[in-house]
């Protein structure tokens, strides 16, 4: 039974690395700001939901459709372009659609409660860092951020202990 679990975990990790590589590659050539924001959130693990992946995939597919229309219009406008060799290289939008499609297929359909906890943790860290920077010196309560993050991690381990990363479970003990 344990070997079956290990093989499933290894397969899951391999698929996740494949999706990550596709997103990173598409990020280098596709410049749509909303898609890049989604890609950053997916890479950081803040939002790997089905809904966000579906939205990113839809954005990239719409960009592919616009590119196809532009290429078709260009081909009808210039007859010599029909004689030229058709390029088989993928465009940035096609790469983005492929990467978002992979994320969409691998995303859990059920809501990821631990992703909500991670977003809360990120927001807490960001707000406490901004408050510390605004004061210009060390905060009068420097451990408050650490306590809030520890509370978020403890809540994550209680909500879904089987899906919380091992590092979070170990640090909350």
Read off the pLDDT of residues 37-82 as tens digits, 9 standing for 90 and up.
999 999 998 888 888 999 999 999 999 899 888 888 887 876 665 5
Residue 69: CB atoms within 10 A of its CB come to 10
Residue 97: CB atoms within 10 A of its CB come to 26
The token pair that represents 103 in the structure block: 């994320």
At a CB cut-off of 8 Å and minimum separation 6, what does 60 contact? 30, 32, 35, 93, 94, 96, 97, 99, 100
Highest mean pLDDT out of 17-21, 78-82, 138-142, 152-156: 17-21
For residue 141, the 8-state DSSP code is S
For residue 31, the 8-state DSSP code is -
Q: Domain boundary at 67, 84, 106, which? A: 106
Do 76 and 118 reside in the same domain of the chain?
no
Kindly indicate the confidence band of residue 9, based on its pLDDT and cuts at 50, 70 and 90.
confident
The token pair that represents 132 in the structure block: 């510390």
Q: What is the structure's pLDDT at 26?
A: 93
Q: What is the structure's pLDDT at 1?
A: 37
Put simply, whether the predicted model's pTM sits higher than 0.75 gets the answer: no
At a CB cut-off of 8 Å and minimum separation 6, what does 160 contact? 113, 114
Residue 116 has pLDDT above 70, yes or no: yes
Percent with pLDDT over 90 in the chain: 23
Do 61 and 123 reside in the same domain of the chain?
no
Greater model confidence, 85 or 98: 98
Q: What is the structure's pLDDT at 67?
A: 86
128, 133, 135, 137 alpha-carbon torsion, rounded to 10°: 110
Kindly indicate the confidence band of residue 86, based on its pLDDT and cuts at 50, 70 and 90.
low
Do 61 and 92 reside in the same domain of the chain?
yes
Distance CA 30, CA 33 (A): 9
Percent with pLDDT over 70 in the chain: 62
Greater model confidence, 27 or 3: 27
Do 90 and 134 reside in the same domain of the chain?
no
Average pLDDT estimate for 144-168 = 59
Q: What is the structure's pLDDT at 19?
A: 92
Do 76 and 41 reside in the same domain of the chain?
yes
Q: What is the structure's pLDDT at 32?
A: 92
**Could you tell me the residue range of the domain that residue 73 belongs to?**
2-106
Do 81 and 139 reside in the same domain of the chain?
no
Do 102 and 34 reside in the same domain of the chain?
yes
Distance CA 5, CA 76 (A): 56
Distance CA 49, CA 71 (A): 33
Which of 148, 39, 36, 40 is closest to 104 using CA atoms?
39
């Amino acid at each position: 039974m344990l070997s079956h679990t290990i093989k499933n975990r290894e397969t899951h990790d391999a698929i996740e690395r494949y999706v990550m590589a596709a997103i990173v590659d598409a990020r280098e050539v596709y410049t749509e700001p909303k898609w890049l924001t989604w890609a950053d959130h997916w890479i950081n693990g803040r939002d790997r939901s089905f809904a966000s992946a579906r939205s990113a995939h839809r954005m990239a597919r719409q960009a592919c459709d616009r590119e196809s229309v532009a290429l078709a219009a260009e081909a009808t406008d210039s007859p010599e372009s029909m004689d030229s060799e058709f390029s088989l290289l993928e465009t940035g939008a096609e790469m983005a659609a492929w990467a978002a499609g992979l994320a969409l297929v691998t995303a859990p359909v059920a809501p990821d409660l631990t992703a909500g906890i991670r977003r809360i943790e990120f927001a807490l860290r960001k707000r406490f860092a901004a408050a510390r920077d605004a004061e210009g010196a060390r905060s009068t309560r420097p451990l408050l951020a650490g306590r809030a993050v520890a509370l978020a991690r403890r809540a994550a381990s209680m909500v879904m202990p089987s899906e919380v990363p091992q590092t979070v479970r170990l640090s909350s003990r």
